[in-house]
Structure 1
Amino acid sequence: MNIKVLVATHKDYKMPEDETYLPIFVGNAIHTENNPGFQGDDDGENISLKNKNYNELTAIYWAWKNLDVDAIGLVHYRRYLVNKTKNGNGFSQILSTSDFESLLNNYDVILPKKRNYYIESNYSHYIHAHHKEPLELTKTIIVRDYPEYLEAYEKVMGSTSAHMFNMFVMKKIYFDQYSEWMFDILGKVEERLDISKYDTYEARVYGFISELLLDVWLEVNQPRLIEVPFKFMEKQNWLVKGGSFLKRKLF
């Protein structure tokens, strides 16, 4: 099985040696001079110039339009899908070619385990962290153009957990279907949304929205899926993250 798992990065960083992984420099059309030699997301048909608004989705778009393989996935330079039964830590635990092949023999989609918010829904978490308007506009477009997804959208918004980070590995037939649906919705949001007054962080809006759209698409299309652990390759300050979470929730 020909599998390519893109490793989205915006700087030089240690990369897996397994040939299934393809490091891709996102926003290459904007910051070519910073690319240490990784594949750029600006070859062929691409949206590399939109990286400041689409985040790692510029890598997903590039793969959708330019790769002819059996399965496509995306992880991040500091965050990987892992097999915790393997000895060691860090890169020694990330999923290998044989791990991917074994899983994809039985499943259509590989996902990181869901992130749980416990005390609030995906919707309330989003609007406490970001501007509300883009999410409301996304719903309007779903109602108008994809009404068969509305029930799933409401279910995902009301849930207290989600598959985050835009991390996944999909068989190509599902990857193509998902990408066409997702980028059509985001493109229509982009046409109607004025982000001229958004700060640099909030301007990444289309990447934020897409994290919730993944579960909406999965709920409707019901591919065979499996969840695996994911791991950060750098230390996380959970005290600071937890404090920020509570601050957004309360204030």
Structure 2
Amino acid sequence: MANTSNMRQKTITLGIAMHKPYPVPRASIYLPIHVGAALNPDVLSHIQGDNTGDNISTLNPYFCELTALYWLWKNNDSDYKGLVHYRRYFATNNFFKRHSHNRFERILEKTELDQILVQHPIILPKKRHYVIETIHSHYAHTMYASQLNITEQVLQDIAPEYVAAWRSLMRQRSAHIFNMMIMDREHFDAYCAWLFPILFELTSRLDPNQYDAFHARYPGRISEMLLNVWIMHKGIHVGQQPTTFTECINWWNKGTSFLKAKFFKQKYTGSF
């Protein structure tokens, strides 16, 4: 007789980090999560808030979408868990859907995801390649290098075995970004158990309130790099999926801001 535990369909929950009303996919694997719900409870009162159970909802101005990640870690026991954004998702591999005029048809759905997860217990966005910048120089030009320096000090103090991977990443010219991932529960929970103590220690040493609202979100940005560090140190082979954005991207503004930061030391002042 077949093992019934192996026949059970795996449950998948992909949290959609949201801070305002916006259309979302109807697929059952997606769970809209109101991030910062403790601070703005009436904005999205009809969806799951990140302020229930064990949560860090009040840290949303600094941790951004990570308050949804934390909520999933502590309050959801699906076999696979993941995080996407209300405008950015993992994309389907289907050529025709990828080029649909309806941008929501480009989003990865459960049937296809089930097949991908058979091959890879962890899925990350395809790497972004900076070409003329290293990870360190790009961050230093657009944000504040001191945040990288203190992050390395925190790693040296509480997770020294990861310092080599951190330094290696700083020299590289590509990385997985966006704080998007899909992982089996074991990896997901292990990653969160590693990540959040580092970020809590980091913010205790470098108060986000010393920055304006845009740069106060540095813990969320640092975590994008830490995800790469965790994967590199663990030697985990991950699956990579393209991403899709539900709105048109102003590539001119994005590209010129990148070059101004590189050559004229003009730091970013807002998201694109």
TM-score range for the pair, normalised by the shorter chain length: over 0.9
Match of 2:194 in 1: 181
Answer yes or no: is 1:11 the counterpart of 2:15: no
- Is the 2:179–2:224 Cα contact (8 Å) retained in structure 1? yes
Deviates more, 1:47-56 or 1:216-225: 216-225
TM-score (normalizing by structure 1): 0.97
CA displacement 1:195-215 (0-9 Å, x = unmatched): 333011000010010011010
Residues 5-28 of structure 1: per-residue CA shift (max 9 Å, x gap) = 011111111111110000111100
Q: Distance in 2 between matches of 1:66 and 1:194?
A: 28
Please say which structure displays the higher CA radius of gyration: 2
Tell me the distance in 2 between the aligned counterparts of 1:121 and 1:38. Answer: 39
SS of the aligned residue for 2:254 comes to helix
1:230 equivalenced with 2:243 (yes/no): yes
The alignment status of 1:113 with 2:126, answered yes or no, reads yes
Instruction: Using structure 2 for the length normalisation, give the TM-score.
Output: 0.90
1:23 aligns with 2:32: yes
Aligned match of 1:204 in 212, 217, 225? 217
Q: Which amino acid aligns with 1:31?
A: N
Structure 1 runs (4+) greater than 3 angstroms displaced: none
5+ residue gaps, structure 1 = none
2:231 alignment partner in structure 1? 218
Matched, 1:62 2:71: yes
Whether the 8 Å CA contact 1:9–1:26 is kept in 2: the answer is yes
SS at match of 1:87: helix
Q: 2:252 corresponds to which residue?
A: 239
1:128-207 alignment, distance < 5 Å? 128-207=141-220
**SS of alignment partner, residue 200 of structure 1:** coil
Is the counterpart of residue 38 in structure 1 residue 47 in structure 2? yes
1:105 match: secondary structure: helix
Unaligned runs of 5+ in 2: 1-9, 265-272
Matched residue type, 2:108 = L
Q: Percent identity?
A: 42
CA contact (8 A) 1:8 1:74 kept: yes
Shift of 1:37: 1.2
Over the aligned positions, Cα root-mean-square deviation in angstroms equals 1.1
